[in-house]
Amino acid sequence: MQNKPVVNLISKPQNMLKTVYTACRTCYSADYPINIYNSTDDEEKMLKLIERVISSGHYSTIEHIQVSFAISNVSRACTHQLVRHRHMSFSQKSQRYVKEKGQFDYIIPPTIEKNAELKKKFEDFMAQISECYQEFVDVGIPAEDARFVLPNAAASSLVVSMNLRELIHVANLRLCTRAQYEIRTLVKMMCDELIKEEPWLKPYLVPKCERLGFCDEDKSCGRKNPFPKG
């Protein structure tokens, strides 16, 4: 099993840019939104207005866009962090309804994987947990109880949906080098999937310091200067 998230963009609206532009322009125009939508094709003009509107914090304009991702091969440690985001919708593989058969899939953090001795220890321990889980299931313990022995490393799958405002917010937080490596990798892959189809989003799907122009973390990675305190 590969030790990296599998991420696919499975749903996004057509004409994303035009939809956001129409939402922005409608706020400042006497024209019908449908006329704005039908008469606009100048990408540069659209991007200029969108940047102005987003930079001023007028975020309802980017809430009209909904995207969905199919995600696999991520640890429960990672999904536990992702589900903290309250404006996302989740449907995750259940450890109650899906019984593990044989060795369960798990994620090995790179810091452990690169050390042969520690990796072996890790794998042996996963095998031990698996044995214990199977033993419980075999004597009739329901999966919902047997799963109590499964580790944070256990792999999971989920479908995640969110609007563009939330995705930008999550990118700003989770692409920061202070975020944990796996969720950073996952969110980067989600952003890259969307940017492949909607390249105009690249300047928004960045760590927060890129938008702020400074770092507001207590411990900065040094990529941007800290915000002067005092």
x/- track of binding to ligand FAD for residues 6-25 (CB under 6 A): --------------------
Site size toward ligand FAD, by CB under 6 A: 10
Buried b (16+ CB within 10 A) or exposed e, 107-122: bbbeeeeeeeeeeeeb
Q: At closest approach, how far in Å is the CB of 56 from ligand FAD? A: 17
Which residues between 180 and 209 bind ligand FAD (CB under 6 A)?
none
Q: At closest approach, how far in Å is the CB of 74 from ligand FAD? A: 16
Point out the catalytic residue in the list 174, 178, 184, 211: 174
* All residues at 6 or more sequence positions from 185 whose CB lies less than 8 Å from its CB, including other chains: 4, 5
Q: At closest approach, how far in Å is the CB of 196 from ligand FAD? A: 24
Which of 41, 86, 213, 228 touches ligand FAD by CB under 6 A?
A: 86
Q: At closest approach, how far in Å is the CB of 117 from ligand FAD? A: 30
Give whichever of 80 and 93 is closer to ligand FAD, judged by the CB atom: 80
Which of 87, 96, 119, 121 touches ligand FAD by CB under 6 A?
A: 87
**Strand-pair partners of 92:** 158
Give whichever of 24 and 183 is closer to ligand FAD, judged by the CB atom: 183
Known catalytic residue at 84: no
Which residues between 128 and 187 bind ligand FAD (CB under 6 A)?
166, 169, 173-174, 178-179
If one asks whether residue 84 binds ligand FAD (CB under 6 A), the answer comes out as: yes
Give whichever of 45 and 80 is closer to ligand FAD, judged by the CB atom: 80
Give whichever of 39 and 180 is closer to ligand FAD, judged by the CB atom: 180
Q: Among candidates 67, 89, 69, which has minimal Cα distance to 157?
A: 69
What one-character-per-residue DSSP string does the chain give?
Answer: --SS-EEEEEE--SSHHHHHHHHHHHTT-SS-HHHHHHH---HHHHHHHHHHHHHTT-GGGGTT-EEEEEEEEEEHHHHHHHTT-TTEEEEE--TTTS---SSPPB---HHHHTSHHHHHHHHHHHHHHHHHHHHHHHTT--HHHHGGG--TTBEEEEEEEEEHHHHHHHHHHHTSTTS-HHHHHHHHHHHHHHHHH-GGGTTTSS-HHHHHSSB-SSS--SSSPBPPP-
Q: At closest approach, how far in Å is the CB of 209 from ligand FAD? A: 13
Residues of the shown chain interacting with ligand FAD in the complex, contacts defined by CB under 6 A: 84-87, 166, 169, 173-174, 178-179
Q: Which residues are catalytic?
A: 174
